Amino acid sequence: MALRSLATRKTLTLGLNSTRLTQSRALQTFSLPDLPYDYGALEPAISGEIMQLHHQKHHQTYITNYNKALEQLHEAIQKGDSSTVVKLQSAIKFNGGGHINHSIFWKNLAPIHEGGGEPPKGSLGWAIDTSFGSLESLIQKMNAEGAALQGSGWVWLGVDKELKKLVIETTANQDPLVTKGPALVPLLGIDVWEHAYYLQYKNVRPDYLKNIWKVIDWKYASEVYEKECP
């Protein structure tokens, strides 16, 4: 992503004059994507208060710190300061991961009257039945993995785009799914950080996991799946 384009541009522009170099490397910053529904629209499964804090505060903070880290990276690369470049990787992984993961998460949710909770259609529906037996057993499996995850993290349904195979994975903290394998593409991610459910479900993470399926929207997952496995 941004990291790679910085590096590529650097190689491409090597040997050009420095004015040109600076101009061509104007830094792209990220901003908070709008939610396609109101904060309260997922109630009672997820409260409006949780959605608002989660989107406006948590996701925003990941973006702010991601932009900050990218700016520092940009400077460090310009200065040839390798130790700072390396030092910044953990902040980039955490905050960039937070931005990637939440951006997918919002697309995985929808109010009940807008398709939330409707089972997946088309080829993804078939693939789930083939891989896991049924949607219910996929849900059970993801809920069990999510409940057992120590600390903060995510539980994912992904597709291995080389093997054309569905996988369930968990990642710690804000690690994006791609950290579990370069061929893995996320279809559906469930946030099991406490901030995703604590105000409403407190310590009972399994109830949050049970209820979130009522507002899971499979449209995004189906689109990505069809693109990767035409």
Partner 1 sequence: MAAAASMATSLTFPLLPSQGLRGPFTSSLPCTIPQRRFWRKVATNLITAKFELKPPPYTLNALEPHMSRQTLEYHWGKHHRTYVENLNKQIAGTELEGLPLEDIIIVSYNNGDILPAFNNAAQAWNHDFFWESMKPGGGGKPSGDLLDLIERDFGSFEQFIQEFKSAAAAQFGSGWAWLAYKANRLDVENAVNPWPSEKDKKLVVVKSPNAVNPLVWDYFPLLTIDVWEHAYYLDFQNRRPDYISMFMEKLISWEAVSARLEKAKALAAEREMEEERRKKEEEEKQTDGEAVEMYLDSDTDDSEAE
195 is in an annotated binding site: yes
91 vs 229 by CB, closer to partner 1: 91
CA distances from 156 to 39, 53, 56, 129 (A): 23, 22, 23, 17
191 is in an annotated binding site: yes
- For the chain, give the number of residues: 230
59 is in an annotated binding site: no
CB of 204 to partner 1, least distance (A): 5
156 vs 225 by CB, closer to partner 1: 156
102 is in an annotated binding site: yes
Neighbours of 36 (CB within 10 A): 13
1 vs 148 by CB, closer to partner 1: 148
92 vs 224 by CB, closer to partner 1: 92
Neighbours of 132 (CB within 10 A): 18
For residue 158, give every residue at least 6 positions away whose Cβ sits within 8 Å of its Cβ, in sequence order, or none. 166, 167, 168, 169, 177, 180, 184, 185, 186, 187
User: Would you tell me which residues interact with partner 1 (CB under 8 A)?
Assistant: 53, 57-58, 61, 90, 94, 144, 147-148, 150-153, 172-174, 193-195, 198-199, 202-207
Positive or negative: CA dihedral 52, 153, 190, 222:
positive
Q: Would you list which residues are annotated within the binding site?
A: 54, 102, 191, 195
Q: Would you list which residues are annotated within the binding site for Mn(2+)?
A: 54, 102, 191, 195
